[in-house]
Amino acid sequence: MENLQLTWLGAAGFKVDTGEGATLLINPYLSRPALAYPFLPIQLADLAPVDEIFLTDGRFDHALDTPALARQTGAIIHAVEPVCQRLMGQGVSAHNLENVIPHTLKRVGSLSWQAFSSRTNQPGSLPAVRQLIRNLQMPAHLGDLVRAWPPSEEVAYAFKIDGLSIVHFSSANWSQAQVDNLRPDLALLPVEHNPDTSTAAARLAARLQPRVVIPHHWDNYFPPLSELSDLSKFEATLHTLAPQVRVYKPVIGRSFDPINLLY
């Protein structure tokens, strides 16, 4: 039996290799432009085999590469119904799609997960959309990309993997009531530069009270729609709100053993 391994894929993406040999992908977006930073040393062809793909929403920086990965791996894709419909329009077979039903516990072997819906996250508040609206000089091809992958209802996921509880959020605007029953070992939380989500992410971490926070989405994954984020503000705010919660800054494309972070 192998050790559980996590790999940050940039943006909100993670690869999870379980101790039982299953491979999961969360928001696997790898089609980064040449100016993206830091460099991601993983290509689409490297992601095989894959058993399950989990999408938190339908934005391009989460779902763009999912049709190619479905064809390459035959993985089961978990997403809300509008995103499943869009993926079918991109050629993904209905047999590879499973509509996410929030608050329904699902199991495959010893792996279990549950999705949580946040209807307070309105499409206009999503970073790429707000950036596009602000920048009237945005090149047409970027506007086409955002329109082709519009926002959808967002879900977060709570996993139980190899005895470890892990939650993944792709936005930070969740209330105490929405996360009240979650006390994860690890929390994968977004920290972006524009708009600055440092304080919101730190507040979410304080609500969740995980043992370790792993920040994501702080890379410059698609300039000019993104910018590199300095994590120092997030770390300082979190230290004030929840000094017992530790932060692990992942290296893009490099696997790590999350169990080692807890001790």
Please tell me the distance from the alpha carbon of residue 20 to that of residue 83, in angstroms, as a whole number: 29
Please tell me the distance from the alpha carbon of residue 130 to that of residue 135, in angstroms, as a whole number: 9
pLDDT tens by residue, 242-256 = 999 999 999 999 999
Domain count, the chain: 1
Q: Which two tokens stand for residue 191?
A: 């920290």
Q: What is the average pLDDT across 19-42?
A: 95
Please tell me the distance from the alpha carbon of residue 12 to that of residue 220, in angstroms, as a whole number: 12
pLDDT class for 70, splitting at 50, 70, 90? Answer: very high
Looking at residue 161, its pLDDT comes to: 95
Q: Which two tokens stand for residue 82?
A: 């509008």
Q: Which two tokens stand for residue 186?
A: 């690890």
pLDDT tens by residue, 203-226 = 999 999 999 999 999 999 998 888
DSSP 165-224: EEEE-S-----HHHHTT---SEEEEE--TTTT-HHHHHHHHHHH--SEEEEES-SB-STT
Q: Report the CATH number that the domain containing residue 216 is assigned in CATH.
A: 3.60.15.10
Looking at residue 119, its pLDDT comes to: 57
Of 178, 175, 143, 137, the closest CA to residue 158 belongs to 178
Percent with pLDDT over 90 in the chain: 75
pTM, full prediction: 0.92
Please tell me the distance from the alpha carbon of residue 164 to that of residue 111, in angstroms, as a whole number: 10
Range of the domain at 234: 5-261
CA distances 86 to 83, 162, 200, Å, are 5, 32, 30
pLDDT tens by residue, 127-140 = 444 544 444 455 66
Q: What is the average pLDDT across 81-109?
A: 94
**Buried b / exposed e across 119-129, counting CB within 10 Å, b at 16+?**
eebeeeebbbb
